[in-house]
Amino acid sequence: MPLAAIARAPGVPLFGSLLGYFRDPLGFFRSTARLGSVVDLHFPGSRSFQLSDPADIEYVAVTANKSLVKDGTLRDLRRVVGQGLLTSEGEFWRRQRRLAQPAFHRDRLRAYAAHMVASTKRAMRAFRPGETRDVHADLMRLTLDIVARTLFGSDIGTGATAIGDLMAATTERYESLLPLIFPALDRLPIPRNVRLRDSLRRADAVVYGLIAERQRSGGDARDDLLSMLLEARDEDGSRMNDVQLRDEVMTMVIAGHETTANSLAWALFLLSQNPAADARLGAELSAVLGGRLPTLDDLPNLPYVGCVVSEALRLYPPAWVIGREVAEPFELRGFLFPKGSQLYYSQWVVHRDARNFEDPEAFRPERWEDGLAKRLPRFAYFPFGGGPRACIGNAFATMEAALVLATLTQRHRFTLAAGHRVAPRASITLRPRYGMRMQVVARD
């Protein structure tokens, strides 16, 4: 069938559907999904399609993965993370993935759990019942601290500000598709570009410092990710050079903290709007932990904590859309997608589709009880993507979110500050646009 037979998003000459996309990217993808399971997004300058049927998404992510590369936005992100695991391709990617994988094995995760709880406890020393705080900012610092300590054996300390600024500048840069369509915009000395360049320079200094510190301490070999990267040898015996090391470390730092911080901030928000769920969470924590800190071994006995995390990831998936570019012409549903087409599939859309979830807009953690995850079609729920390019940090992040949530909420509740506006900001991740100002309340 010719591609022209595919439903097309409404638009205007020259700009296509871009105005609708700019106005509200999340609403745009939801409304275009209603036009059909494969939709021509009508973006100017490229052939871009959206898929929203879980079976098609599975086909693209798993079966046809070899015909695809990351989409234009992710390739562009190389200006921040270079050729790290998230953005590299082919044999190079495969080798780096094999190299990094042991740092995420089950036995390593066990060692990280205690760090995760200890870091949360340290962060909570600043929390005073009755005060109002931006918990999203707190969680960003906390999850960065956790990644630095577990994967790089380092206390990132004052470097956290530079990384936080880089995250903010990256969010700002990738919120808009405009620079992708008009690349010249990136070369203008406008404040947005200056902020990205400046924060990248400062964050680079932090990351190179972390690597140099470990190289200096030489003999003190540890078994964390940084050591694995430093020790790795090519077949010809050569090591990774400093730029490759920097790219992998920067990738883990960038991919590995804001996503988890966002999911926790959204979980606290959803709990604040659903007192019955919050009370059930408090009751489970009190019954199982009786006031002591959680450990990894407690998690199987805290099923409701896991349900809250799954449900928050469903309603506010921190990775809200995945994009791929067709590298070799590729067929789906009888359509032949030409080389260079962009394919998008959105967690935000699929997770809120009534065909996949009953009462999809409602926060109902208990829907995950009784094995819903196993009954769902594959890719009806995919907060961590899937196929060969699935998130390497899936188990790390799920465990971290559960342990941090259990530690944060066993003695405290969080209520939304009066008048605080809550809205998602869809950029490279889905973060709360105005932060998350919440009041800390002692649990009875």
Residues at the site binding ligand HEM, with contacts judged by CB under 6 A: 70, 85-86, 97, 147, 251-252, 255-256, 259-260, 263, 318-319, 322, 383-385, 389, 391-393, 396-397
With respect to ligand HEM, which residue has the nearer C-beta, 288 or 382?
A: 382
With respect to ligand HEM, which residue has the nearer C-beta, 180 or 440?
A: 180
Written as six digits, the tokens of 389 are 């390019």
With respect to ligand HEM, which residue has the nearer C-beta, 62 or 185?
A: 62
With respect to ligand HEM, which residue has the nearer C-beta, 207 or 288?
A: 207
What long-range pairs does 420-426 form, CB within 8 A, spacing at least 24? Answer: 422/269, 424/26, 424/316, 424/320, 425/171, 425/175, 426/25, 426/26, 426/175, 426/320, 426/321, 426/348
Q: Measured between alpha carbons, how far is 139 from 35 in angstroms, rounded to an integer?
A: 38
Name the DSSP class of 24.
Answer: -
Name the DSSP class of 327.
Answer: S
Nearest residue relative to ligand HEM (C-beta)? 393
The angle formed by the CA atoms of residues 143, 147 and 149, to the nearest 5 degrees, is: 115
Nearest to 302 by CA among 273, 332, 282: 282
Residue 389: CB minimum distance to ligand HEM, A: 4
Collect all residues with Cβ–Cβ distance below 8 Å to 195 and sequence separation of at least 6: 165, 168, 169, 172
Residue 79: CB minimum distance to ligand HEM, A: 17
With respect to ligand HEM, which residue has the nearer C-beta, 6 or 399?
A: 399
Residue 261: CB minimum distance to ligand HEM, A: 9
Burial class of residue 321 (count of CB atoms within 10 Å of its CB; 0-12, 13-18, 19+): buried
Residue 127: CB minimum distance to ligand HEM, A: 22
Q: Are the CB atoms for 41 and 48 separated by under 8 Å?
A: yes
Residue 5: CB minimum distance to ligand HEM, A: 28
Residue 313: CB minimum distance to ligand HEM, A: 6
With respect to ligand HEM, which residue has the nearer C-beta, 29 or 439?
A: 29
